[in-house]
Amino acid sequence: MIKTTNKIILASVFGIFILLIASLLFMPFIFSGPVSPFFVVHNHDINDHTVVIDVFDSRNVSIITETYKLEPKSDISRKRPLGLRLPLSKGEFKINVTVDNETMETHHVELPHPHTMVDIRLYYEDYMGNVTPISVEVAAVV
């Protein structure tokens, strides 16, 4: 009888401990919402474009190499790697963007928290009418 009671108490303490750890891990997601995408590519042009995105970490190790075919006025997004979804995660990356095997740009970006993303714009026209083939910036998602 005493051994059964001890097992029940031990199982209850262990269960409470697991619930406490789980709540500490998931609490930031409950209050701050889902994490933003890792990057978004917007095609502002009236033509189709093939885009190759190469992402390297701070040790210059390739972590993503993907090719996308974007139709006119369309966009795509890429989910964050698992390690960058955690509440206090941040990272520095080098991003190579190649458009139609011709235009290539390299940008170094820092994502300070899970609610920032890399915003890549193709053939973006600014308010002055200037068209930039590739524009890369870090954007906060609220």
Q: How far apart are CA 75 and CA 57, in angstroms?
A: 24
Q: Torsion angle of alpha carbons 80, 40, 72, 129, nearest 10°?
A: -170
Beta bridge partner(s), residue 85: none
pLDDT the model gives residue 20:
87
pLDDT on residue 90: 78
Domain range annotation of the chain: 1-33, 39-140
CATH for the stretch 39-140 = 2.60.40
Q: What's the rounded mean pLDDT across residues 11-28?
A: 81
Q: How far is CA 64 from the centre of its chain?
A: 11
Q: DSSP E strands: which ranges in 17-141?
A: 39-43, 49-56, 62-70, 75-78, 91-99, 103-111, 116-125, 131-140
Q: Using one digit for the tens of pLDDT, what is the confidence trace for 29-88? A: 566 667 789 999 999 999 999 999 999 988 999 999 999 999 999 999 999 887 777 666
